[in-house]
Amino acid sequence: MVGSNSPSGSPGETPKPNSDAIPHPDNDSAIEAVTQRVQDSLSLGKKHKFWETQPVGQFRDLGDTSLPEGPIEQPTPLSEVKQEPYNLPSPYEWTTCDIDNEDTCIEVYNLLTNNYVEDDENMFRFNYSREFLRWALRPPGYFKSWHIGVRVKVSKKLVAFITGVPARIRVRDDVVKMTEINFLCVHKKLRSKRLAPVMIKEVTRRVHLENIWQAAYTAGVVIPTPIATCQYWHRSLNPKKLIDVGFSRLGARMTMSRTIKLYKLPESTTTPGFRKMELRDVPAVTRLLRNYLSQFAVAPDFDENDVEHWLLPKENVVDSYLVESPDTREITDFCSFYTLPSSILGNQNYSTLKAAYSYYNVSTQTPLLQLINDALIVAKHNDYDVFNALDIMHNESILKELKFGPGDGQLHYYLYNYRMSNALKPSELGLVLL
């Protein structure tokens, strides 16, 4: 249920900006770009052997209006779901990773830290903290059996990992029980063993055992068939460090001092009533968020338990701020970001890039531009180096003015066993996957 043919066997892509530190003009639209890549794939007769056997939208069906939206295959009786795990190559065995166990959590952390998503130049690699992993993998109603590892039988070394967590995702007017698939990671030395397709089939089997038949996932590569293609944008908060480590570089006719001045932010936030979210705010934030997300074609169906888990601030994991009207005490606006550092590979001066990723933002009274600018100020104050955002929801409308620049990587969204008749524009998508 997740892209298996990227170099790292990973569901995402380490975002990295275009080469200049100054925002670039528009690229071609993401939809046009992915359409061209699909056409190139078809003309070359490129095969996606695994995905062509799966209930996902197929490239050959693009534009076929006779195919209905919705589930591609109907559920089978649970008694007919395969009861035994799929066979692994003989040196390996399945393990269920108990993320509450400190030793196991460290094993997973080390596997991901050394083998997970890197950028194309192998300069940066995602560095999920153990606190982040526990947050990401233990939402309300999670199943430990969906946290799947592969060990070497003899040494018991953990060499591969894949996860699912339960979610309710609304697709147009239908709320569908799904799993969100993430963290597909295979040790670098085992990439030729074709473990990823077996792992995808095994997590699919375990999800089916819970009577769930759809999934959502993302990948940095094009496989059959994206429901949306989005782009990462980056806002420098510490431009000197970003340039020093090769994340970005000086623009034409720009000096370092001019670049630092260009990205300078105010010392404090500007919106009256802007404060950190607290437990007592969960009902109000839930109402705001549900109302806001209702306008998008694909979005999560959050209740108060979900909001408490996903959005209540956790240090170095997720930050959420809101605007409480000084007059009425009404919660009118909300913004959030999560923390996902990257390891800096091969640099003598720096080891970590501290990155904030825009999460869910709701603007009703405070202009979105002002709200996100306050989020940038908070992130800068807390020593983040860069603030990243996808061009989904209403984000695109404010990115250029806030001095974000487009990155060179795209993120493709997929649904498993659910067909959509047309690809969505990023602005029609209300779903953020970690």
Which is the catalytic residue, given 289, 293, 376, 434?
434
* Dist. CA 402–CA 266, nearest whole Å: 13
Q: Residue 434 catalytic?
A: yes
In which region does residue 403 sit, left (phi positive, over 0), alpha (psi from -120 to 50) or beta (all else)? left
Q: What residues are labeled active site?
A: 434
